[in-house]
Amino acid sequence: MTRVAVFPGSFDPMTNAHLDVARRASGLFDRLVIGVLNNPKKRPLFDVGERVSLIEHCVVDLGEHVSVEAFDGLTVEFARRQEAGFIVRGLRAVSDFEAELQMALTNRKLAPEIDTTFLMTALEYGYVSSSLAKEVARFGGDVTEMLPAPVAAALADRLSEGPRV
Ligand code: PNS
């Protein structure tokens, strides 16, 4: 049996916590598709194409069974299109749990054939989030421990362009 999982998220941008979860999941599933949500309601710092290519850079060493795709709409529909039986989400701390439980139960209601699996982020990345990394970088702080090197470089470049109107 081929085990296929999707790992959905906003990834604006991918952090070391995300990468850690992707690495762990890549060892558990025969195929892992990292799904980058194209959410028209949000104004991301990186557009969806930029987010996809940054992630592709970061996961290149995880193997050919790992791919990255943009998606719109419901995560479960994306999972069905990928013929995935699993959704992967990372948990950093207890504070993530409530929202993740709600999402997992909603997704189960929508697609009972798909199970959500949670992977604990490595302890050293338990505090890392995309929004905190952006804030730290914006004020000139060091984000090298929070972000993969290509992401940190892209973020520095983006912020050097000045505020977006
Ligand atoms: O990286 P994030 O922002 O925590 O990811 C959240 C994401 C993209 C997984 C979630 O917002 C999502 O699944 N959005 C797609 C819409 C959807 O399926 N909603 C119902 C599930 S709650």
- Report pLDDT digits (tens) over 98-117: 999 999 999 999 999 999 99
Matching residue, tokens 């039986």: 85
Q: Which of 14, 75, 76, 98 to mutate to test the pocket of ligand 1 (most atoms within 8 A of CB)?
A: 75
Q: Which of 10, 86, 100 to mutate to test the pocket of ligand 1 (most atoms within 8 A of CB)?
A: 10
Does the active-site annotation cover 31? no
Span from the CA of 36 to the centroid of ligand 1 (angstroms): 10
Does the active-site annotation cover 51? no
How confident is the model at residue 108, as a pLDDT? 98
Which of 28, 19, 115 has the alpha carbon at shortest distance from 68? 19
Does the active-site annotation cover 18? yes
Span from the CA of 8 to the centroid of ligand 1 (angstroms): 7
Does the active-site annotation cover 92? yes
How confident is the model at residue 138, as a pLDDT? 96
- pLDDT band with cut points at 50, 70 and 90 for residue 1: confident
How confident is the model at residue 40, as a pLDDT? 79
β partners of residue 8: 35
Q: What is the pLDDT of residues 40-91, one digit of tens each?
A: 788 999 999 999 999 999 999 999 999 999 999 999 999 999 999 999 999 9
Q: Which two tokens stand for residue 130?
A: 């995309």
Contact 26, 3 (CB under 8 A): no
Contact 56, 31 (CB under 8 A): no
